[in-house]
């Protein structure tokens, strides 16, 4: 069960990380003082605050996935688990 949970959290962390890159980090140099960036290729305006929410979500889910994976490995090596 922990392996499934850790895989799910790591996958969600990767998705959230991609969204953080796609929504904010890719356009970081383009934002003006108002926090807006116009993309002439697609004709959209990117807002600075709209992409910032994905980064903490990515870090939290990646951290949770690494923690549960570590706990699953520790449970396998535990002498109590072999009884």
Mean pLDDT of 18-43: 86
Instruction: Note the pLDDT of residue 30.
Output: 85
CA–CA gap between residue 2 and residue 71 (Å, rounded):
8
Instruction: Note the pLDDT of residue 26.
Output: 82
Going from N- to C-terminal start, the domains of the chain cover: 2-33+49-82
**What band does 82 get if pLDDT is binned at 50, 70 and 90?**
low
pLDDT(11) > 90 = yes
**What band does 78 get if pLDDT is binned at 50, 70 and 90?**
confident
Q: Structure pTM? A: 0.77
Say how many C-beta atoms besides its own lie within 10 A of residue 64's C-beta. Answer: 17
Per DSSP (E only), the strands in 1-83 are 36-39, 44-47
């Amino acid at each position: 069960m922990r392996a499934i949970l850790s895989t799910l959290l790591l996958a969600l962390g990767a998705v959230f990380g991609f969204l953080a890159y796609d929504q904010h980090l890719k356009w970081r140099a383009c934002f003006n003082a108002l926090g807006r960036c116009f993309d002439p290729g697609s004709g959209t305006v990117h807002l600075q605050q709209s992409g910032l929410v994905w980064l903490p979500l990515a870090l939290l889910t990646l951290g949770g996935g690494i923690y549960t994976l570590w706990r699953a490995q520790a449970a396998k090596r535990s002498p109590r688990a072999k009884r």
